[in-house]
Amino acid sequence: MLTLSGQGAIITGGGTGVGKATALRLAKEGCHILVNYSRSRDEAEATAEEVRELGVKCLAYQADVADDAACRAMTQAAEKEFGRVDVLVNSAGTTKFIAADDLEAVTDDVWLRLYQVNVLGPFHCIRAVQEPMLRAGGGAIVNVSSVAARTANGSSIAYCCTKAALDNLTVSMARTLAPHIRVNSVAPGLISSRWVAQNLGQAAWEKTLKSFEEKTPLGRVCSPEDVAAAIMSFITGSQLITGQTIVVDGGMIISAGATMRR
């Protein structure tokens, strides 16, 4: 198993949800963490404090991953603070909840923003960490995708397309950055999180959660910690795995006729 003690990691969208859970997992292994956030400053600062309590260095760093210059500056800050960058987890993402049959609502602005954050953002960060990772002797990158990439069923048509593009980017970058940098992806199903509940509304969320739990072979939906565990398996597990996407959904994707929503 790869030893993470003293290494440096950048986690985009690291203040909440999957990003936070991953930050805490990495910190427990002795990895220094840069917690990236765009708007959730209070949450990011709170997460950074939890990480520091585990005995490692941590920066809470504001940057919109859609901004290439900001991603480069963020990477430079991490390398300066930690002396190296070994891990990148692209957890930042966005969506717009739009019914599949409401095509007029899927405006160009929606398409552009979702692609900027969900596809260009990971590319910006991957490009920014390439040289620092090579200086450190190699690295591991994990993108957070979605089962929506495979089912074309999710919060919006545009969201599904961006996650499919992210899966393609994972393969392209794995090929390009080999042999010293590995690039993989996790694709969660529905995640039990505050973010989903806020967007759906409490009543709709409770109904959706119950429906998914009844249809899912393993009887429950993902928690952020479940997804973080899969991310960790790519980072610390076999060093011969790259260009792969693993689904974390309790078996939901294999259930015929299921409705997917992250």
**Catalytic residue check, 37:** no
Whether the CB-CB separation of 154 and 108 falls below 8 Å is answered with: no
Tokens of 145: 């995708």
Tally the C-alpha atoms within 13 A of residue 196's C-alpha that lie toward its C-beta: 22
> What is the Cα gyration radius of the chain?
17
Whether the CB-CB separation of 12 and 125 falls below 8 Å is answered with: yes
Chain centre distance of CA 14: 9
Do the bridges between strand 58-62 and strand 181-188 make them parallel or antiparallel, or are there none, so unpaired? Answer: unpaired
Catalytic position from the list 37, 61, 115, 159: 159
Whether the CB-CB separation of 71 and 77 falls below 8 Å is answered with: no
**In one letter, which amino acid is 18?**
V
* CB-count burial class (<10 Å; 0-12, 13-18, 19+) for 252: buried
Tally the C-alpha atoms within 13 A of residue 226's C-alpha that lie toward its C-beta: 17
What are the E-state strand segments in 53-195? 58-62, 87-90, 139-144, 181-188
Whether the CB-CB separation of 222 and 262 falls below 8 Å is answered with: no
Catalytically annotated residues: 159
